[in-house]
Amino acid sequence: MLSNPPFGVEWKKVEKEIRKEHGSQGYNGRFGPGLPRVSDGSLLFLLHLISKMRPAVEGGSRFGIVLNGSPLFTGGAGSGESEIRRYVLENDLVEAIIGLPTDMFYNTGISTYVWILSNRKPAHRKGLVQIIDASSFWQKMRKSLGSKRKEMSDEHIAEVTDQTVRRFRGSRAGRQAHLAHLQERGFRLPHHHRGTSAARCGGQDRAGRKRQAEGQAAAG
C-alpha cells in the first residue's frame, strides 16, 4: 500500500464519529492508541492504514505513507500524538523514515517524509528504525509546477531504494535508531535533515547538475 494524504488537514467535521469510535471500540477499532489534535489529522491516516494491514500470521503487510514533519515530533508525553508514536514504535511497526527534498509537491514547499511501516520485519531489522536523509537527492525541474521545483531522477529513486532495502547497515545516507533511544526521546522521531556523503551535499548531486548543464547547453 502507498498513501499520500493531505498535509495537516483538520478533522473537526468528523470529530464526533472519530471520538465515538475511539471511545467505544478502543483497540478493536482504528484509533485505539490515541487521537491527535483536531488541527492535524495526519496520524489518523496512519492509524487507518495500520488497521488495513494483513495479520503477521497471514503473511503481514508493508506500506508507505507521505507525511509532513509534524507527526514526527508534535505533542508532549501523554498526548495523543505521543501515544500513537509509542504504539507504532513499541509494536515495532516502523521500518524506515525517509526525509525527502523540499519543493516536491505542487501546493507546498515544506519538508516531507515517507514512513515505511511493516508487521513482517526481518530479524536484522527488529527493534530498529532506519533513518534516511534523501533531502539532497534531487534535480531542478525544467519548468516549475506551482511550488514543485524539484524532482527525483530514476537514479535518485534507485539509490534511496538501495539504501532502504539492501544496505540497511552502514549505508552512506542512513542511520539506525534503537527503540530504547526513542523511548528516551519521548517517542519523538528524528526530523532534522543532516548531510550525507560529500557527493550529495549542498543541493543537487553531481549527476543532477550535469543534467541541468546539458539541458541549458541544448536550450542555448
C-alpha cell at 159: 539509490
pLDDT tens-place string over residues 77-107: 899 999 999 999 999 999 999 999 988 888 7
Give me the mean pLDDT over the 19-23 stretch: 97
CA dist 129 and 120 (Å) reads 14
Q: In DSSP terms, which residues pair with 178 in a beta bridge? A: 128
Whether this prediction's pTM lies above 0.85 is answered by no
Mean pLDDT, the chain, whole residue set: 81
Give me the mean pLDDT over the 116-126 stretch: 91
How confident is the model at residue 175, as a pLDDT?
A: 64
Instruction: Delineate the domains of the chain, giving CATH numbers in brackets.
Output: 2-219 (3.40.50.150)
Q: How do strand 112-118 and strand 62-68 relate by DSSP bridges? A: antiparallel
CA dist 34 and 26 (Å) reads 9
Residue 61 reports pLDDT greater than 80: yes
CA dist 34 and 30 (Å) reads 10
Yes or no: say if 26 and 32 are a contact pair by the CB < 8 Å rule: yes
pLDDT tens-place string over residues 129-158: 888 889 888 889 888 888 888 889 999 999
Hey, CA dihedral for 39, 36, 175, 173, is it positive or negative? negative
